[in-house]
Structure 1
Amino acid sequence: MEKGNPFVASLHEVENQLELSLRQAFVSLEPKLQPPFSLDIPDQQEFLELCRAIVYAVLCDSNHSKTHIKHLHALVTDGYAFFTSLLVGVVVELYGKLVDSAKVQLLWLTKEMIGVSSVGLEELLVSLLRRIGSGDYGEQNVWLCSELVSLFLDKWGCLLEDIPLVLTSALYSFLRLLADHCRVSGIPKLEHLKRLEIKFCVKMFKEQLHLSLKIGRDLVRLLQDLVHISEFKDIWSDLVCSEVSQIYQLKTSSRYFLLRITPEMETQLRFLLGNVKLGSHKRHQMWFLKKFLLGPEKETLLVDIVRFICCVVHPTNEIIRSEIMPRWALIGWFLELCKQNPQVEQRVKLSLFYDWLFFDEKVDSIMNVEPAALLMLWSIPQYPHITNSLLEFLLRLVDSYDITRRDMIMRGVASAFREIERKGVVPSLDMFLSSPEIAADLKKKLANLLSCR
């Protein structure tokens, strides 16, 4: 690889401060990056600048990577914490601007940091997992996914010993990605990737089941999409027979929902739900649609986005009382976007209602069930078909999601309804039970459900 700029030049963007600091450090210290190296111990500021210069140098030039990393080893006094934080910054802020050769170098540096068990390694690996795009079957995205699943397989022992929880993050990511990858056939590199993903996920379940179960109830939701794959049939049967009731009761940590949302998407969703007022929201929505959701398979992203909004984006009371676009309104728009694909629409609705099925007011947050409740409530006057559709879906879930644990699910959904009334999310459940706009059979089923104790 020829030495050159590791970043794609842009004429219209303000230069990123991290990119600027890396390049400036490299330009000023380039002579000091060549052996023989100085025997003087650098002070703190010089050390930080040398770390920046080495990151830039390795991203630029693979021919001297090993020399640069040896130089780093001789300097480090902080467990590689600052160097790794720079790599995290590159992944989060600059990954989209890296040229292909620099992405290869970034993965090489990541493996080097695994080798030295660097401080901050888990954050680096999680940041890289977030860079795998859902519904993207382009060469670069398939390459990144293949590289990362191979890395987790190759470095299994080190990661299990040093940062075992990162393996659960990888399992969540690859289970979710595999469901999308199995929808597409005829791409040779994707077929190879699917085999690697299956190998990693099955290894996790067979060798580290206790770690796998730490994901919580959303593990069941992910596995449901994979039961048609022969390697997962026994895993599914074993879980359903022995562990599933306990898994249902374990709320999935919000950190898992971030894994399938890129940093740019997270920024835009938080902006939409924290700054944009109703009335001026449509142009922001269309920008989001064009930026992230256009493409034949991109709508599967809506499953992850809705889960992220329900479980991670919890607005303050000040925002809730303001004119800023509420979560339920954005989710309503997302449901409209996937109406042409019934399979995706069903998965998005399940993503919206999933915490209702196992709701326990002692464990679960009312904020996770609030968007669905308000979407049903505020749709009654003008869009009663939405309320009826959602309520019908929820009540059908109660009857059919897990027949052997139907009583548990009935209690969960009834508990969620009572809690949204008790906490004042809705003024009264009579707004559902007495509305002439809601189908009579749905009101009857809801009333029967709410009478359960």
Structure 2
Amino acid sequence: MEQKSKSKLLISTSLDAKDELEERLDRCVALVSSMINGVSEREANDALNAYVCKGASQHEDVCLGLFTLVLSEPAQAQKCYRDLALVSRDGMNIVLNKINQLLMEKYLKLQDTCRTQLAWLVRELVKSGVLGADGVCMTFMKQIAGGDISAKNIWLAESVLDILMDQREWVMKSSILIAMSVYTYLRLIVDHHGTPQLLVLRQKEVDFCTMLLRERVMERHL
């Protein structure tokens, strides 16, 4: 079936109705691009800050525009994330809510680039200590399908695992995140048993679950 080429976020066909969320995000990208393209970084920051000061609606539009650029333009991701951190006045709540919405409602339709960038963005939010990043990690984990050893599902399982392992101390601060991580990866260990190409990933999952369970037991004895 013919695919539309315009969409940078969602995979769609010529028969699909226009996606309202994507149209909204495209408008936000156009708005932000008009402020940051062709000017110095200082001028871009001034323009973005002046615009978000106008009100809640303008603040949301700029945050969503920068968020969408992070997902759709990997080369600009670092700069756009920096800008987002500077202009966000709600502790990244708008962005966290939109990540959750995309993961729960649109994950299977997301372009591969956007999936990769979502993982990158979640890692950055965790590293920055953004309140609520644990909830986004759990939503990400919920997208890992049980009994599915397709390349995309394996990529997702490993990407989330890498974030959790890299940010181990942060994970240990959240009992609910620990519980869900153990539940998710104990199930995946079973799925990945007996598949030679998944041996390395399965061992990482075993090591991760063992570490979490051991540390929890030790904490209870302190």
Alpha-carbon distance in structure 2 between the residues aligned to 1:171 and 1:16: 36
1:192 positional shift: 1.6
Equivalent residues of 1:178, 1:194 under 8 A apart: yes
Where does residue 176 of structure 1 map in the other structure?
Answer: 187
- 1:270-419 to structure 2, matched below 5 A, reads none
Query: Alpha-carbon deviations, 1:152-194, whole Å to 9, x = none?
Result: 1101112323x34212111110011111211x323x2x11210
Equivalent residues of 1:22, 1:53 under 8 A apart: yes
Letter aligned with residue 50 of structure 2: D
Alpha-carbon distance in structure 2 between the residues aligned to 1:17 and 1:64: 24
Say whether residues 1:191 and 2:199 are aligned partners. Answer: yes
Q: RCO higher in 1 or 2 (8 Å CA, sep ≥ 6)?
A: 2
Letter aligned with residue 172 of structure 1: Y
Equivalent residues of 1:84, 1:118 under 8 A apart: no
Alpha carbon RMSD of aligned pairs, Å? 2.1
Alpha-carbon distance in structure 1 between the residues aligned to 2:24 and 2:88: 20
Structure 1 SS opposite 2:75: coil
* Structure 1: unaligned runs, 5 residues or longer: 214-453
Structure 1 SS opposite 2:50: coil
Where does residue 214 of structure 2 map in the other structure?
Answer: 206
1:13 positional shift: 3.2
* Structure 2: unaligned runs, 5 residues or longer: 1-5
Equivalent residues of 1:126, 1:169 under 8 A apart: yes
1:41 positional shift: 5.6
Alpha-carbon distance in structure 1 between the residues aligned to 2:169 and 2:184: 19
Alpha-carbon distance in structure 2 between the residues aligned to 1:33 and 1:180: 46
Flag the 1:204–1:25 CA change in 2: closer, same or farther, 3 A: same
1:210 positional shift: 7.3
Flag the 1:15–1:118 CA change in 2: closer, same or farther, 3 A: farther
Alpha-carbon distance in structure 1 between the residues aligned to 2:201 and 2:76: 30
Where does residue 50 of structure 1 map in the other structure?
Answer: 62
Alpha-carbon distance in structure 2 between the residues aligned to 1:22 and 1:120: 22
Equivalent residues of 1:58, 1:65 under 8 A apart: yes
Structure 1 SS opposite 2:90: coil
Where does residue 155 of structure 2 map in the other structure?
Answer: 143
1:209 positional shift: 2.7
Equivalent residues of 1:52, 1:83 under 8 A apart: yes
Structure 2 SS opposite 1:134: coil
Equivalent residues of 2:51, 2:58 under 8 A apart: no
Where does residue 176 of structure 2 map in the other structure?
Answer: 165
Equivalent residues of 1:79, 1:119 under 8 A apart: yes
Letter aligned with residue 163 of structure 2: L
Structure 2 SS opposite 1:151: helix
Equivalent residues of 2:25, 2:65 under 8 A apart: yes
Alpha-carbon distance in structure 1 between the residues aligned to 2:218 and 2:93: 29
Query: Alpha-carbon deviations, 1:324-358, whole Å to 9, x = none?
Result: xxxxxxxxxxxxxxxxxxxxxxxxxxxxxxxxxxx
Say whether residues 1:80 and 2:92 are aligned partners. Answer: yes
Alpha-carbon distance in structure 1 between the residues aligned to 2:89 and 2:71: 22
Larger radius of gyration: 1
Query: Alpha-carbon deviations, 1:394-414, whole Å to 9, x = none?
Result: xxxxxxxxxxxxxxxxxxxxx
Instruction: Report how many aligned residue pairs link the two structures.
Output: 206
1:116 pairs with one of 103, 116, 128: 128
Flag the 1:171–1:15 CA change in 2: closer, same or farther, 3 A: farther
Equivalent residues of 1:5, 1:60 under 8 A apart: yes
Flag the 1:199–1:85 CA change in 2: closer, same or farther, 3 A: same
Structure 2 SS opposite 1:40: helix
1:23 positional shift: 1.5
Alpha-carbon distance in structure 2 between the residues aligned to 1:19 and 1:120: 24
Where does residue 11 of structure 1 map in the other structure?
Answer: 14
1:62 positional shift: 0.8
Q: Percent identity?
A: 19
Where does residue 3 of structure 2 map in the other structure?
Answer: none
Alpha-carbon distance in structure 2 between the residues aligned to 1:209 and 1:145: 25
Query: Alpha-carbon deviations, 1:68-98, whole Å to 9, x = none?
Result: 0111111122111111111111111111111
Equivalent residues of 1:81, 1:118 under 8 A apart: no
Query: Alpha-carbon deviations, 1:122-165, whole Å to 9, x = none?
Result: 2211111111111111111111101111111101112323x342
Where does residue 108 of structure 2 map in the other structure?
Answer: 96
Scaled by the length of structure 1, what TM-score is found? 0.43
Equivalent residues of 1:84, 1:119 under 8 A apart: no
Alpha-carbon distance in structure 1 between the residues aligned to 2:204 and 2:58: 43
Alpha-carbon distance in structure 1 between the residues aligned to 2:87 and 2:118: 20
